[in-house]
Structure 1
Amino acid sequence: MIDRLTIDRIYERADIVEVIGEFVSLKKRGANYLGSCPFHNERTPSFTVSPAKSIFKCFGCGKSGNVVGFVMEHENMTYVEALKFLAKKYHIEIEETEPDPEQIIQKNKREAQQVLISFANDWFKEQLHKTQEGQNIGFSYFRERGFTDVIIERFQLGYSPSDRRAFSQAALKKGFKADVLTESGMSIERNGTLYDRFYDRVIFPIQGITGQTIGFGGRTMQKESNIAKYLNSPETVLYQKSKVLYGIYQSRRAITQNDSCFLVEGYTDVLSMHQCGVENVVASSGTSLTTEQIRLIRRFTQNLTVLYDGDSAGIKASLRGIDMILTEGLNVKVCLLPDGEDPDSFARKNSASAFVDYINKNETDFIRFKVKLMLDDAKGDPIKKASMVNDIVQSISCIPNMITRSVYIQECSRMLDISEDVLHSATNKIIKKRDQKEFLKAQSESQIKPDEAVSAETSDVGKMGKTSSVYNEIAVTEIELIRFMLEYGERDVFTVESDIESKSQTYITVAEFIVEELERDDMVPLDSTLAKIFSIYSDSLKKNVPLSRYYFTHNPEIEISIKASEILAPGHTLSKIWERDTINPVAEELQLAKAIHKITNEYKWRRLKRLQKELSKKLKDPNIQEEELAIVFDKLNRINQIKKQLSSEYGSRSIF
C-alpha cells in the first residue's frame, strides 16, 4: 500500500502536460493543449489537456481522467503501478520491499514477466561489462561498429554468453519460476530442461514508449549460415512487435522537436544515427510496417521520411506498405542513400549536419517517387503503363485529405500524360468501393441480437439512457447538478435570515443548496458514481470540511476521478434545458443562483415524472393489494405536494 501523503505528493508534482506530452505531441490552444488521441484512431485532433484542472478529455472517444488515469489507460497499468511510474519520474521515494520469490508467484502474469524482463536486462548488461567473455566478444563487436560508451548506455546494450543455460539458471537461482521464464519467451523448455532463447548474442533491449524494457533483440556472434542472424522475443503479454518501434523511447523528444521522423530497418541503423547526432529516428526491426506502428509515429509528428539502402532490392516490395502510411494521413517522403550505403554505414561516415543535408537534398515525395520508379519499369509498354496507373491511383486513393489528393492527381496527370478527369474518376471509384465495404462491415458489427436488447423496465440509469428518454433526461440532469457542485460548490449564492430581530443573515453555498434540496425530497442521484460524489460532498458539509474539485478529479477511487474529470473537462456538453431558458451557459457564473434553481427544479420534475409513471402503472395492476394501494396513493399525494412546493417561492431566500 502507498500512504495518502505520498499519493498527494505524486499528484502535486506530476505535471499532466509534461507526462502526456511524452506520449502525445501537444500544441497549445488558448489555455489548454490539443493533440491526437492515443486511445483511438483520429485524423483531426480532439484530445484536450487542461493544465489548470489537471485533467484530459478526448471529445472523439470520450476518454477522460487525471494524470494517473492517463498512465493507467495508456500503459495498461494498475492504479499502484501508475503511481509508482510517476513517483519514479519525479524522484519521489516510495518505501516498499523488493518482492521475494513467493511474492512473485502471487503476482499476475504481466507483473511477473515485467520483473523478469527487468532482471534479464540488468543481467545482460552485467555480462557485457563485467565478464571476460562479454568484454572479448560483445564489447569488441560494439567497438568494431564504432559505438561509444554513451550509446551503449543510452540503449542499455548487453550480451548473452555462449552457455545455453546460463541465463535460465541465473533466473531460477534468483527465485523465478519455470513457467514465468517460458511464458516470457526468455527460456525454451525441452525434455524438462530450460534453455536460453538468447545465447552467444549481443543484446538490444526493446523499450516501450515509457522506457520500460518489454523484450529483446539479439544478433548472433556465430558465423554458421544455418543460425538466424537476428532473433527477437516472441509475442508475450508485454511485447507485441506490431505495436512497438525500436528507439521510440530514446527518440520521441527529438521527433517532436524536429516535427519529423526517419524510419529505418534495423537496430544498428538507429544507434549509428543517434551517435552521429540525428536522433529523430525509429526502426521497424526488420518486420513489415503495421498500422499500430504508424499511429505511434503519428502521435509525435505528421511527417515521415523512409530511408532506403542505396542498393536495396526490396524497394518495390515495400511500396505497398507505404500506402498504409498514406491512409493514416501522414506526409511521406522517401530517400535513397548512395550506392552501397545503409543508414548505419552512412551515419558513421557523416556528421549530423551532413547527414540531414543529404536527406533534404535527396528526399522525394512518395507519390512522385513511385511514379518515376514505375515509369522506368514500364519503359513504353502500354500494358505495364496501364497497370502502373492503376497502382498509382490506388496509392492516391489512400490519402484521406481531398485537397491533397487533388494536388497529387494534377501532378500525376502531368507526369503520366493522362487526363485529370480519368484519374479523378478512377480514384473516386476505388474510394467509393472501399467506403461501401467499410460501411457494410460496420453495419454488420453494430447489429444487436434480440437476446442482447436491454429491457427498459429493468435497466439502471446508465442503460436506460439508450432506451428511455425519461431516464436519459434524468441522467443528463444529474451530471449537470454534480457539475455545479464540483465547479462552484463553495460559492455563496443565497442568504437566509437567521435572526429576525437582529436581521442577521446566513450564507448558503451552491453545494449546501443542492444537497439540502435533494436530501429533503429523497432524490439523491441514481447513477452509482454520481451518488458517491454526492454522498462525499454531503458528509463533508456535515463535518464542515471544505472540498475542492481537485479532491474529486484526483480521488484514489478511479471511477470517481474519471467521472469528475469527464464532467469538468473543457467543452463539456451541457444539458438541453439551457436551450429553453434565457441563461447563457457561457455566463452561468454571473447568474449562478438562477441557474442552480433552474437545474434543481428540472431534476426534481424529471424524477417526479418517472416516479409518477411507475406508480400509475401499479394502479392498473388488477392484483394489487389494499395495503399496497394505500401506499401508492400516499406516494402520489406526496408527489403532488412536492410539485406545489416547486411552483412556489423558496421561503425567505434571496438571491445576491
Structure 2
Amino acid sequence: MISRATIDSVFETARVEEVIGDFVQLKKSGSNFKGLSPFTDERSPSFMVSPVKQIWKDFSSGKGGNVVSFLMEHEHFTYPEAIRYLAKKYGIEIEETEQTSEQKESANERESMYLVTDFAKDYFHNTLLKTEEGKAIGLSYFKERGFTDETIKKFELGYSPDSWDAFTSHAIKKGYKLEFLEKTGLSIVKTDTSTGSATKMFDRFKGRVMFPIRSMSGRTLGFGGRILTSDKKAAKYLNSPESDIYHKSKVLYGIFHAKQSIAKEDNCYLVEGYTDVIQFHQTGIHNVVSSSGTALTPEQIRLVNRLTKNITVLFDGDAAGLRASLRGIDLILEQGMNVKICTFPEGEDPDSFSKKNSLEELTLYLEENSKDFITFKASLLAADAKNDPIKKAQTIHDMVASIAKIPDVIKREVYLRECSRIMDISEQVLFNSIAQLLRKDQKEAAKKEKKTQEPFEVVSSEKNKPKKVDVQFELEQKLIELLVLYGSMEQEFEEMVIDKNEKGELDFKAEVFESRVFEKIYLDLQDDEIEFTNPEFKNIYSEIINRYVENPEAKSENFVNQMAPEIAAGVTNILMEEERYVLHDWERMQIFVKEKEKTIAQVVSETILSLRRFLVAKKIDELSETMKNDQDFDKEAGLQEIVAYIGLKKLLSDKLNRVL
C-alpha cells in the first residue's frame, strides 16, 4: 500500500496542466487551458483544464476530476498505478507498506495483464543484453541496423530465446499465472479438451527480436517480434494478438516517446515500421510514429489529432505501396487534419535514408520534399493517366472524392481550385461533382438512419415536448454549488423575522448578521430538518460540511484531491460548470457575464427559501392526493393541515419577495 505521505506529496507536486499536456494539445484560454476532448471524436474544443483549481472537465463526455482521475479515465490506471506514474514523472520516492497476499490476490485482471507485459518487457531486454544467445543473435542484429546502446535502452528492445518455452517457464517460476500469460498472447497454451487442463505451453515470440509497444503514458500493451531466420513458413513480423489491454487499431508505435515533440513541433511524421521510428529518433527527429504495418485507422489518427492538426506521411519509393496507402490519406482528411506527403528516392525507406543522412540533411530533405496531399495525389495519378482521357477522368474523380472527405468548407474550396489548376479543368465542373458526392453521402446516411428505426415506430409528439424541470434537483444542485464555490466566504445576511409593527400587526423585520456561507446553509437546513433527496448531492454535502467544520477557511478546490473519486467527480462538475461559458469566448463578442460574488448572500437566501417553499407546496399536493384516494383519512384534520401549510407557503413567498 502507498503511504498517505506519498499520496499527499504527489498531489502537492503534480501539475494537472503538465500531466494532461502529455496527452492533449492544450492552448491558453484566459486563466485556463482548452483542447480537444481525448474521450470523444470532436473538432471544436470542449475540454477545459484549470491550473488554479488543479482540475479538468470534458464537457463533451461529462467526465472530470483531478490529475489522478484523468489518468484513471484516459489510461485506465487504477488509483495506485496513477499515483506511481505521477511519482515517477516528478521524481518522488514512493513509501509503501507490504501488500498482504489477499491484496495481491484482489488485483483485477487488467492489472495482472499489465504486470505480465511489464515483466516480459524486462525479461526480453535483459535476455538481449545479458545472455550469450541474446548478445550473439539479437544484439548483433540491432547493431547491424545501426542502433546505438542508448537507442536500444531507450526503446527497451529485446530478444526472445529460440526455445519452445523459455519465457513461459521462467514467468511461471516467478509467480505469474499461465492464465494471464495466455490472455496477453505471450504464451500459447494447448489444452486437453476432455479435462480442460493445459498439456503444452509455447512462447509465441520464440527466436525473435522484440519491440515493446507502449501506450501514450508508457504502459506496455503488447509486442512486435521480428524473426531473424529465413523460415518461409513463419511471418517476418508477428504482433501480440488482440487482448483487453492491446487493440492494434487504437495504438501507434512510438507515441510515448513522440508525444511531447509532436505538440512542440505541431507536426507528426507517420511511417510504416518499428525501425523507421527508431532510426528517425536516433538521427534526432522525435515527432514520429508508426502504424506498425497495419492499415491506418480513425482511432490512430485521433491519437495524433489530440496533439497536432498536421500529419506528414512518409512513404518509400515503392509505387504500388503508395497507391494502397492513399486510402489512409482520405481517413486523415475526414478527421479535419492537414496532410502532407513525402516520398524517398527509389530503393530507400525512412529507416535507410535517415541512417545515411545527418539531422540537418534529413530535416532539409523533409522540408523540401513534403508536398500538399492534392499536389502529390495529382502528380502520382496523372503519371498513370498520361494522354488517356478515360484515365484522366478517373484521376480527377479520385481527387474530388478525397476533397469531399474534408469537413471544412473553406478548405474544400481552396483544394478544389488547386485541383482545377493542376488538372486543367473548370472549377464549376469540380464544384458540381463534389456537390453530387456530398448529396450521395447524405442520402446513404439517411438510409442507414432509417434502417436503425423500428419497423412500425410511431413518431410521437411527446418526443418534441420540452423535458419537465426537476425543481428539487435544480435547487439541491444550486446549494451544493454555493457550498463548493463559496462555502468558506464570510457574508452579511439579512434574515426576515416575523414581528409586530406599530399597529400591532404581524410583519417582517430585517435582522442583519455575519456568517460563513456553509454555516448559513447548514443551520437553515437543520432548522427545517431538510435532507437532500439526490444521493450524489447527499454524499457531497456531508463530505463538504465535515471538511468545513474541521477547517472553516479551507479552499474547496483542495477538497477534490482528498475525496473519493466518485465524490470528487461531482465536485469537479460544479467547480468547472462556469468554465463552460469560457469556451464560447463571450467577452470577445461584447457580452459580459455578471460576477456571482457580488450577490452571494442574496443567492444563498433565495435558494434556501425557494427550496423551503417548494417542499411546502409538495406537502400540500401530497395531502390533497391522500384526501382524494384514502377513504379512512381524517379529512377534517387533513384540511386544517393543508390550510396551515398554505399559510406557511404564503409567508415564505412574502419572505422570498423581500429577498428578491
Give the TM-score normalised by structure 2: 0.88
Aligned 8 A contact 2:617 2:649 in 1:
no
Q: What is the distance in 2 between the residues matched to 1:528 and 1:134?
A: 59
Give, as a single letter, the amino acid of the residue that structure 2 aligns with 1:333: K
| Residue in 2 that maps onto 1:204 | 211
Of residues 102-111 and 592-601 in structure 1, the stretch that sits farther from structure 2 once superposed is 102-111
Give, as a single letter, the amino acid of the residue that structure 2 aligns with 1:27: K
TM-superposition CA deviations, 1:546-579 (whole Å, max 9, x none): 54312432243212111111111163569xxxxx
Change (3 A) 1:130 1:269: same
Aligned 8 A contact 1:31 1:50 in 2:
yes
| Residue in 2 that maps onto 1:352 | 359
Question: Structure 1 residue 469 and structure 2 residue 468: aligned?
Answer: yes
Q: What is the distance in 2 between the residues matched to 1:527 and 1:202?
A: 57
Question: Structure 1 residue 512 and structure 2 residue 510: aligned?
Answer: no
2:298 pairs with one of 280, 287, 291:
291
Q: What is the distance in 2 between the residues matched to 1:166 and 1:273?
A: 33
Q: How many residues align?
A: 623
Question: Structure 1 residue 643 and structure 2 residue 642: aligned?
Answer: no
SS at 1:313 equivalent:
helix
1:221 pairs with one of 219, 228, 233:
228
SS at 1:586 equivalent:
coil
Of residues 344-353 and 522-531 in structure 1, the stretch that sits farther from structure 2 once superposed is 522-531
Aligned 8 A contact 1:126 1:158 in 2:
yes
| Residue in 1 that maps onto 2:16 | 16
Q: Give the CA RMSD over aligned residues.
A: 3.0
1:601 pairs with one of 600, 609, 616:
609
SS at 1:469 equivalent:
coil
Aligned 8 A contact 1:259 1:303 in 2:
yes
- Identity rate, percent: 44
Q: Summarize the alignment of residues 338-487 of structure 1 with structure 2, pairs less than 5 Å apart.
A: 338-438=345-445, 441=448, 469-471=468-470, 473-487=471-485
Give, as a single letter, the amino acid of the residue that structure 2 aligns with 1:85: Y
Q: Summarize the alignment of residues 162-173 of structure 1 with structure 2, pairs less than 5 Å apart.
A: 162-173=162-173
Q: What is the distance in 2 between the residues matched to 1:539 and 1:95?
A: 28
Give, as a single letter, the amino acid of the residue that structure 2 aligns with 1:81: E
Q: What is the distance in 2 between the residues matched to 1:519 and 1:92?
A: 44
Offset at residue 447 of structure 1 (A): 7.7
Q: Summarize the alignment of residues 164-183 of structure 1 with structure 2, pairs less than 5 Å apart.
A: 164-183=164-183
Offset at residue 514 of structure 1 (A): 1.9
2:488 pairs with one of 487, 490, 504:
490
Aligned 8 A contact 1:261 1:301 in 2:
yes
| Residue in 1 that maps onto 2:145 | 145
SS at 2:594 equivalent:
helix
Change (3 A) 1:432 1:624: farther
TM-superposition CA deviations, 1:490-517 (whole Å, max 9, x none): 11112689xxxxxx98521112222222
TM-superposition CA deviations, 1:418-454 (whole Å, max 9, x none): 222222222123223323444564677688999xx9x
TM-superposition CA deviations, 1:247-289 (whole Å, max 9, x none): 0001111111111010000010011101111111000100000
Change (3 A) 1:551 1:347: same
Aligned 8 A contact 1:201 1:220 in 2:
yes
Change (3 A) 1:512 1:445: farther
Offset at residue 415 of structure 1 (A): 1.9
SS at 1:275 equivalent:
helix
| Residue in 2 that maps onto 1:84 | 84
Q: What is the distance in 2 between the residues matched to 1:379 and 1:231?
A: 40
Aligned 8 A contact 1:246 1:282 in 2:
yes
SS at 1:159 equivalent:
strand
Q: What is the distance in 2 between the residues matched to 1:648 and 1:42?
A: 48
Give, as a single letter, the amino acid of the residue that structure 2 aligns with 1:569: M
| Residue in 1 that maps onto 2:194 | none
Question: Structure 1 residue 121 and structure 2 residue 128: aligned?
Answer: no
Q: What is the distance in 2 between the residues matched to 1:264 and 1:67?
A: 32
1:322 pairs with one of 315, 323, 329:
329
Change (3 A) 1:104 1:593: closer
Aligned 8 A contact 1:494 1:654 in 2:
no
Q: What is the distance in 2 between the residues matched to 1:476 and 1:449?
A: 37
Q: What is the distance in 2 between the residues matched to 1:611 and 1:519?
A: 18
Of residues 510-519 and 250-259 in structure 1, the stretch that sits farther from structure 2 once superposed is 510-519
| Residue in 2 that maps onto 1:577 | none
Change (3 A) 1:568 1:203: same
Give, as a single letter, the amino acid of the residue that structure 2 aligns with 1:355: L
| Residue in 1 that maps onto 2:273 | 266
Give, as a single letter, the amino acid of the residue that structure 2 aligns with 1:390: H
Give, as a single letter, the amino acid of the residue that structure 1 aligns with 2:595: A
Give, as a single letter, the amino acid of the residue that structure 1 aligns with 2:369: N
Give, as a single letter, the amino acid of the residue that structure 2 aligns with 1:556: M
Give, as a single letter, the amino acid of the residue that structure 1 aligns with 2:336: G
| Residue in 2 that maps onto 1:620 | 628
Give, as a single letter, the amino acid of the residue that structure 1 aligns with 2:402: S
Aligned 8 A contact 1:101 1:176 in 2:
no
Q: What is the distance in 1 between the residues matched to 2:98 and 2:447?
A: 53
Q: What is the distance in 2 between the residues matched to 1:149 and 1:631?
A: 91
Question: Structure 1 residue 110 and structure 2 residue 110: aligned?
Answer: yes
Aligned 8 A contact 1:496 1:508 in 2:
no
Give, as a single letter, the amino acid of the residue that structure 2 aligns with 1:179: E
Change (3 A) 1:147 1:538: closer
Of residues 81-90 and 192-201 in structure 1, the stretch that sits farther from structure 2 once superposed is 81-90
Question: Structure 1 residue 277 and structure 2 residue 276: aligned?
Answer: no
| Residue in 1 that maps onto 2:568 | 561
Q: What is the distance in 1 between the residues matched to 2:232 and 2:484?
A: 68
Change (3 A) 1:139 1:430: same
Offset at residue 109 of structure 1 (A): 1.6
Offset at residue 479 of structure 1 (A): 2.0
Offset at residue 609 of structure 1 (A): 4.1
Change (3 A) 1:380 1:637: farther
SS at 1:199 equivalent:
coil
Of residues 15-24 and 524-533 in structure 1, the stretch that sits farther from structure 2 once superposed is 524-533
Offset at residue 371 of structure 1 (A): 1.7
TM-superposition CA deviations, 1:87-138 (whole Å, max 9, x none): 3323334444677988655432211111111111111111011101111111
Change (3 A) 1:642 1:9: farther
Question: Structure 1 residue 336 and structure 2 residue 343: aligned?
Answer: yes
SS at 2:605 equivalent:
helix
| Residue in 2 that maps onto 1:459 | none
Aligned 8 A contact 1:553 1:564 in 2:
yes
Change (3 A) 1:632 1:511: farther
Change (3 A) 1:543 1:363: closer
Q: Summarize the alignment of residues 21-60 of structure 1 with structure 2, pairs less than 5 Å apart.
A: 21-60=21-60
SS at 2:209 equivalent:
strand
Of residues 107-116 and 430-439 in structure 1, the stretch that sits farther from structure 2 once superposed is 430-439
Q: What is the distance in 2 between the residues matched to 1:235 and 1:125?
A: 23
| Residue in 2 that maps onto 1:548 | 555
| Residue in 1 that maps onto 2:502 | none
Question: Structure 1 residue 589 and structure 2 residue 597: aligned?
Answer: yes
Aligned 8 A contact 1:24 1:38 in 2:
yes
SS at 2:595 equivalent:
helix
Offset at residue 612 of structure 1 (A): 3.8
Give, as a single letter, the amino acid of the residue that structure 2 aligns with 1:33: F
Structure 2 unaligned regions, length at least 5 = 192-198, 496-510, 582-591
Structure 1 unaligned regions, length at least 5 = 457-465, 498-503, 575-583
Aligned 8 A contact 1:490 1:510 in 2:
yes
| Residue in 2 that maps onto 1:581 | none
TM-superposition CA deviations, 1:514-549 (whole Å, max 9, x none): 222233333333221111122233445666755431
